[in-house]
């Protein structure tokens, strides 16, 4: 499945979403329209596996897992959707550290998911109109998900709520933000093998 192409195509059709659930549902519909799958699930939960989207490609066990993040800065935008003008009132998701933490927790969750069977793959998608996520902070420290490479075995360490978190990467990841639509959004797509 070429999720980058699906996201790029979706960006030509929908520039903006009301919230993460709207993004999740719209992405699932786009996947359904382009991908032959036996079963697709939103908010999949089984044993210790909880994922936003799971695709079962004609097998007993699901083989593609997707986790999504949608973080915005406050903005009101009128945009045409399905032939009608719609007002989008985006919220200000100020918890940058929390969202970064959630991104890496999603990576860890998908690493666990794909390690169960060799034919599984996972994707984390982070969509935002907040440049804080793809640029370095004023102090010169990494945003933890800016454009850089994460090497296999590297430990991502950061603090959140006065606790130290360490997430070991099982693979190397190249983090590259791409433009999404025409309203200043970018997305980060990370394939987890």
pLDDT in tens, 107-149: 888 988 888 877 889 999 999 999 888 875 544 344 555 555 5
Of 26-30, 47-51, 53-57, 170-174, minimum mean pLDDT range? 170-174
What's the average model confidence in pLDDT over 29-47?
79
Model pLDDT, residue 40: 78
Taking the CB of residue 107, how many other CB atoms lie within 10 A of it? 23
pTM, to two decimals = 0.84
According to the model, what pLDDT value does residue 16 have? 94
Q: What is the distance between the alpha carbons of residues 185 and 128, in angstroms, rounded to a whole number?
A: 5
Q: Which two tokens stand for residue 129?
A: 């109109």
pLDDT of residue 5: 95
Max mean pLDDT range (128-132, 143-147, 168-172, 173-177): 128-132
Alpha-carbon gap, residue 42 to 158, rounded angstroms = 30
Q: Is the pLDDT of residue 24 over 50?
A: yes
CA–CA dist 184, 131 (Å, integer): 9
Parse the chain into domains and list their residue ranges.
Answer: 3-192
pLDDT of residue 162: 64
Give the pLDDT band of residue 22 (cuts 50, 70, 90). very high
Q: How many other β-carbons are positioned within 10 Å of the β-carbon of residue 68?
A: 20
Which pLDDT value is given to residue 138? 42
Residue 37 clears pLDDT 80, i.e. is over it: no
Provide the pLDDT for residue 141: 42
The residue-averaged pLDDT of 80-87 equals 85
β partners of residue 159: 164
Angle formed by the axes of helices 20-34 and 3-13, nearest 10°: 110
């Amino acid at each position: 499945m070429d999720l980058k192409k699906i996201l790029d195509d979706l960006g030509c059709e929908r520039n903006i979403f009301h919230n993460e659930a709207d993004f999740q549902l719209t992405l699932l519909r786009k996947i359904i329209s382009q991908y032959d799958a036996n079963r697709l699930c939103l908010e999949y939960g089984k044993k210790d596996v909880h994922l936003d989207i799971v695709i079962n490609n004609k097998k007993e066990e699901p083989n593609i897992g997707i986790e999504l993040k949608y973080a915005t800065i406050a903005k009101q935008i009128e945009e045409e959707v399905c032939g009608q003008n719609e007002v989008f009132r985006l919220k200000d998701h100020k918890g940058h550290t929390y969202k970064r933490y959630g991104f890496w927790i999603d990576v860890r969750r998908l690493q666990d998911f794909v390690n169960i069977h060799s034919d599984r793959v996972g994707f984390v998608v982070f969509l935002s109109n907040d440049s804080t996520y793809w640029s370095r902070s004023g102090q010169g420290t990494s945003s933890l998900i800016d454009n850089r490479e994460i090497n296999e075995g590297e430990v991502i360490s950061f603090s959140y709520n006065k606790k130290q978190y360490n997430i070991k990467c099982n693979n190397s990841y190249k983090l590259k933000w791409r433009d999404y639509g025409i309203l200043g959004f970018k997305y980060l797509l990370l394939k987890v093998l």
